[in-house]
Chain A
Amino acid sequence: MTQHEIEQVYEALAEGIDRAAPEAPELYLARVCLLLARELPSVEAALAAIAAAQTA
């Protein structure tokens, strides 16, 4: 994915959270994560991203 495309995702997520309000952002973001996980080639890829996000 190019940096420009990453930026598009960044913006869509920010606007998505605002549109989902007053629902809690974590619920909306969790749905996004589950849908994105379905697009990944393997469970390992999903678990690796989940672990990587923990350390930040």
Chain B
Amino acid sequence: MRPAGRADTASLYFTYPQFAAPEGAARAGLARDVAVAIVGAGPVGMVAALTLAQQGIASVLIEAKDSFNDGSRAICIARQSYAILDSLGVVAPFLEKSLGWTTGRSFYRGRQILEFHMPDGPEEKFRPMYNLEQQFIEAYLWQAIEANPLIETRWQSRLEGIEIDEAGARLTVADPEGSYSFHADWVLAADGARSVVRSQLGLRLQGQNFEGRYVIADVQMDHDYPTIRRALFDPACRPGATVLIHRQPDNIWRIDYQLGDDEDPAEAVREEVVRDSVAAVLAEIGHTGPWELEWWSIYSANTLALDDYRKGPVIFIGDSAHIVPIFGVRGLNNGIADAHNIGWKLGHVLTGKAGAALIDSYTPERRGATLDVFANASKSARFMTPPTRGWQILRDAALGLALTHPFAGELANPRQMTPFTYAESPAVLPDDPGFAAGPAPGAAMIEARVGAGFLSDRLARGGFTLVCFDPALARAVEALPDAPAVACLPWPSAAADRLGAGQGAAYLVRPDLHVGARWPAATAETVRAALDTLCFREV
């Protein structure tokens, strides 16, 4: 919502582009059959389109709106998402604009009880977290999409119906000039929390709603505080409630404040009420200068997901598949990982590099990640908005003790974002017990310094990479038919130490930057066999 008199897209810092529906000659091809249709050009649908394009697969992207999201919703992008954007070759504008951060501070009744630092260091290419308004996230993804001939975007085109048949699905779309249908072999449903694809196919999200509603308000002001996440517990401005404060680019500040059980949500989002609430928070953090209200919204903490992220040729990615509480800042990050995961898998299947069974590993991997998010986010949610008397008493006791006992303050540490490990996946090989360090199969590949750059710079974009240390092994693998990319690193080296690797060791890294297999002593033959298994090739 925006202040009275301002249109939905009248932002203080962002100029919304206006996209036309397909017109003229472009309409002739609307009803043709396509290999992949993506419903929804939110951030997740766009990452999916870019990932498929990197695999050489064309897609048609259908979007109901004529522009980007009306306000900044997701603002925290995690390190692993930047690694994905980097691997897609689109991270540069994000790095340029966003504010990286590592530190959070928690306060109880005005006194600081915790300062936490997320893991970071010179061996990391990206900071643990970046703040960037969602409009810019979408605008930067769009820049890449617009320039990509493999992606056809249809704006102002709303999916109205979908029917699964033997060969895929038939989609019915309405745009300002009329209605038409077309056939797609595969459909990626990226149409958000209120997914039409999901309801049309009779599927429902399962899970629970947590107590605790938040108003989310963005304000523009000159406010002198570093990019540090602040959490205020039981502050004077909202007794009993929790307030979060984040800095964003363009002097925009995100203020999230919890509503009390007795507060009526309809009343709470009235402009005057929002203004008074924000003013009280600003007074508490010592901001005395002017400020302008940009946008606000209301949010409640849910943990909801589909039981299966796939129904035949239709695959759900992002908010259409799961809704996660805001506290872990996982919503968007989780969706980006979904899109990247299915993108390389579908791409490998459609280009004949992998068997169709590879697609079946999508739900266990990504639904597993969502359940992990739920576990962590539920923990945060219980701390931020205690659901029962018992949680409330313990939370308040911990906050009280935290003033004098740091261990109790640690209970307020949100421990945001470590990428999920696909331990139980069919697209990951069992670990070899010969390693004392380094990421196990299923985990995200770690970062390390290599020469003047980083290990991730050496990984193939969109393909498998063998990371090894023995030049003879590297040559033997490069000579294989359908050889993966090979990154032969110096040994001994800091990277080898971090990977727990002797000179004969090797890691096979999947296109999504997760480890698929590793060996203390690899041969070209074991690598070839592993690739066959991980790609479900019929041999």
Given contacts A13-B390, A14-B393, contact A7 B404 (CB under 8 A): no
Given contacts A14-B393, A17-B394, A18-B390, contact A52 B404 (CB under 8 A): yes
Structural contact, B407 and A6, CB atoms closer than 8 A:
yes
Q: Mark B363-406, 1 if CB is under 8 A from A, else 0.
A: 00000000000000000001000101111011101101101110
Complex: how many Å from CA A52 to CA B394?
Answer: 16
Instruction: Select from chain A the residue with minimum beta-carbon distance to B403.
Output: A56
Structural contact, B407 and A17, CB atoms closer than 8 A:
no
List the B side residues contacting A17 at CB < 8 Å.
389-390, 393-394
Instruction: Select from chain B the residue with minimum beta-carbon distance to A17.
Output: B390
Q: List which A1-56 residues lie within 8 A (CB) of chain B.
A: 3, 6-7, 10, 13-19, 21, 25, 52-53, 55-56
Dominant SS among interface residues on chain A: helix
List the A side residues contacting B397 at CB < 8 Å.
56
Interface size class of B (residues with CB under 8 A): 10 to 19
Output the least CB separation between A55 and chain B (Å). 7
Structural contact, A10 and B403, CB atoms closer than 8 A:
no
Output the least CB separation between A10 and chain B (Å). 6
Output the least CB separation between B302 and chain A (Å). 21
Interface centre among A3, A10, A21 (most CB of B within 10 A): A10
List the B side residues contacting A55 at CB < 8 Å.
404
Given contacts A17-B389, A21-B389, contact A7 B394 (CB under 8 A): no
Instruction: Select from chain B the residue with minimum beta-carbon distance to A13.
Output: B394
Among A6, A7, A18, A56, the residue within 8 A (CB) of B388 is A18
Among B389, B398, B407, the residue within 8 A (CB) of A25 is B389
- Pick 22 A–B contacts, CB within 8 A, sort by A: A3-B407, A6-B407, A7-B411, A10-B394, A10-B398, A13-B390, A14-B390, A14-B393, A14-B394, A17-B390, A17-B393, A18-B389, A21-B390, A25-B389, A25-B390, A25-B393, A52-B404, A52-B405, A55-B404, A56-B397, A56-B401, A56-B403
B residues bordering A, Cβ < 8 Å? 382, 386, 388-391, 393-395, 397-398, 400-401, 403-405, 407, 410-411
A residues bordering B, Cβ < 8 Å? 3, 6-7, 10, 13-19, 21, 25, 52-53, 55-56
Q: A10-B394, A14-B391 are in contact. List 19 more A-B contacts (CB 8 A).
A: A3-B407, A3-B410, A7-B411, A10-B411, A13-B390, A13-B394, A14-B382, A14-B393, A15-B390, A16-B390, A17-B389, A17-B390, A17-B393, A17-B394, A18-B391, A25-B389, A56-B401, A56-B403, A56-B405
